[in-house]
Amino acid sequence: MKLVRFDTREALFAHATERFVRIGAEAIRERGRFLVALSGGETPRPLYERLAASAELDWAAVDVFWADERCVPPTDPRSNYGTVREALLDRVAIPEDRIHRIAGELDPLAAADAYEVELRRVVGADSRLDLILLGIGADGHTASLFPRHQALSETGRWIVPVHASADPPWRVTMTLPLINAARHVLFLATGAEKAAAVRDLVDGKPLPASMVRPTDGTVTFLVDEEAASLLEEY
Ligand code: 6PG
């Protein structure tokens, strides 16, 4: 696990944008398309806005997925799809059939089943996403994999429904077998409310986010000064 600290959020998001575009361009060059899973929440919004303003990625060759979704309609302000749609997808030339959203408005099990079918159809035999963008919660959850939840033990399915103490409680999430097969995983953590989780992660505590360890890929944490404030200097 590689952790990179930034003095300012500005510097963090500039780096994240550059890294995202670099990984995307490499995937398109080598395999003809870029398979990326995005996250919701507030943290990545500046990245999405920067990506929308950057002309450097060939969006016609990008397939966008979501690491997780809250079970709400796409128009609900809590929808992860809605956040990305508004901050990024409405502003770039991506074909509609390359936007693969989780149907948050459906019954969670039905939505999970349908998304697993869609993912397997698009990703194919390779079974690997090029990049998964993740956040971390104050309790160490990532995607919608919450501490002590049975979804953390999933070994076969790529997508499962989850009920947790969160708003909204029903979620649909990628599981560790799919996340850990990725070529690259990128975590973003900003703000003092993430400091304890980032410290626990670095200390090796058994958080869901610590279980993200790609078997043949990279995992990188980008943290700002506030999120890094409880770390020893190193
Ligand atoms: C979600 C997520 C979740 C998120 C973290 C951080 O749908 O809630 O994907 O894992 O990334 O909770 O959220 P913030 O970026 O809003 O702090």
Residues 28 and 233: their CA atoms lie apart, in Å, by 38
Q: DSSP readout, the chain? A: -EEEEESSHHHHHHHHHHHHHHHHHHHHHHHSSEEEEE--SSTTHHHHHHHHH---S-GGGEEEEESEEESS-TTSTT-HHHHHHHHTGGGS---GGGB----TTS-HHHHHHHHHHHHHHHHGGG---SEEEE---TTS-BTTB-TT-GGGG--S-SEEEEE-SSSSSEEEEE-HHHHTT-SEEEEEE-SGGGHHHHHHHHTT---GGGG---TTSEEEEEEETTTTTTSPP-
* Model pLDDT for residues 176-217, shown as the tens digit of each residue: 999 999 999 999 999 999 999 999 999 999 999 999 999 999
pLDDT band at 233 (very low <50, low <70, confident <90, very high): low
11-20, 136-145, 179-188, 225-234: which has the minimum mean pLDDT? Answer: 225-234
Q: How far is the CA of 138 from the centre of ligand 1 (A)?
A: 9
Q: Which amino acid is at 83?
A: T
Q: Please give the number of the atom of ligand 1 that sits closest to the Cα of 44.
A: 15
Question: What pTM was estimated for this model as a whole?
Answer: 0.98
Q: Please give the number of the atom of ligand 1 that sits closest to the Cα of 194.
A: 17
pLDDT band at 139 (very low <50, low <70, confident <90, very high): very high
Rounded percentage of the chain residues whose pLDDT exceeds 70: 99
Closest CA to 118 of 60, 178, 170, 163: 178
Any residues with Cβ below 6 Å from ligand 1, and which?
39-43, 67-68, 70, 80, 135, 137, 141-144
